[in-house]
Amino acid sequence: MNQAKVLFVDDEVGVLRSLKRGLRLRRRDWEIQFHQSPLQALDQLDQFSPWIVVSDKRMSEMDGLDFLAQVRERLPEAVRILLSGDTSGESALGATEVSHLLLAKPFDIDDLIEILERTYCLYSLPVSAKSRQVLGDIKTLPVLPEVYQCLVDYLRSTDQPDVKKIAEIISRDTAILSKVLQVSNSSFFGFSSPAQSIQEAVVRLGNDLLSQMVLSIGLFEESELDQQAHRALLAQSEKISEKMLTMARFADVPKQILDKLYITGLLHNVGALAPEIDDPDISHIIGAYLLKLWGFETELVNAVLYQNDNEYIDESLLLPFLRVALALDDEKGVTDTLNFLPESDLRHTKVQAFLQQI
């Protein structure tokens, strides 16, 4: 991968000095430009061609939203990050029209570097330059749900999360709460008796699965699609998840992988939530792009990206199980799709036996 290029714009000299010092110590291998003037930054944009553009929102010469809007027009493939002291719901919604990510000020340098490194990894995706421009030019992407952000912020703030506090957070959204309780009682995950409380449901699922569930459910709930399209996408994602879990339990897949399969099914069509895109040939690319941007593991990102490409093979079980579930849902043959495990692998035989029964 080539050297990363990052452009920072902030009219506060102290902020730029702090950024220069922190990033010089941590990311010596990156090419970084710092500008106090957004107009000067725009003059350098074409020549520098940054991968990532980070801008403060409140600047005297030009508002950060206006600056990023011009970046989107001139260099749509660049990932745009807005720094703002106002992260209220209304402000965040406005920011999504021109930025991919919003970071609250003041921020810790480690948080910024984590976001930059995550964004940098987007360039490892095998996506064409044309597709990157289409992705960057989308004016509205799915917004991270408020309950998810609150949950993640809390989990990051402590080494010993309190179950009661987690239960209180997810209880703020009835749709999320009902789904958490439903899954925590599901036999798919090996639970033989219902959870007696929200706290017990939280303990059963674990923080990682719970966080990803809250994200996936919230994304569909808050999407800008019309209700009919929204319900259809959510129903399809849940149906694919159930098919994947049914096969996996039949094949004695461990619970840890069951969790991942469940989330993969829920998020496999997340790219279709971008309201300006009705092209099925690119929705999976948008989905992979979003998941990478939000920090999901590479195996899940690859499963979403390559779900329709039977020639791509990796070592993860997420992709092959997703392909089989999609083939079953479309009532297509799954013989070729099943060639994801060596015939000597017991799970291959068990999945074959399962498919012969349906």
**pLDDT tens-digit map of 10-43:** 999 998 999 988 888 777 788 899 999 999 999 9
Q: State how far the Cα of 100 lies from the Cα of 79, in Å rounded to an integer.
A: 6
For residues 327-346, average pLDDT: 58
For residues 152-171, average pLDDT: 89
Compute the Cα dihedral for 123, 129, 134, 136 and give only its sign.
positive
Least confident among 94-98, 136-140, 180-184, 337-341: 337-341
Strand order from edge to edge, sheet including 79-84: 31-35, 5-9, 52-56, 79-84, 101-104
The domains located in the chain, with CATH, are: 5-124 (3.40.50.2300), 146-357 (1.10.3210.10)
**pLDDT tens-digit map of 40-80:** 999 999 999 998 899 999 999 999 999 999 998 899 888 88
**pLDDT tens-digit map of 178-206:** 778 878 877 666 676 777 788 888 998 88
**pLDDT tens-digit map of 218-242:** 777 666 667 777 778 888 988 999 8
pLDDT of residue 344: 46
Residue (of 107, 94, 108, 113) closest to 52 by Cα position: 113
**pLDDT tens-digit map of 99-146:** 887 787 888 888 788 878 777 767 777 777 777 777 766 666 666 677
Mean pLDDT of the chain: 80
Predicted structure pTM score: 0.71
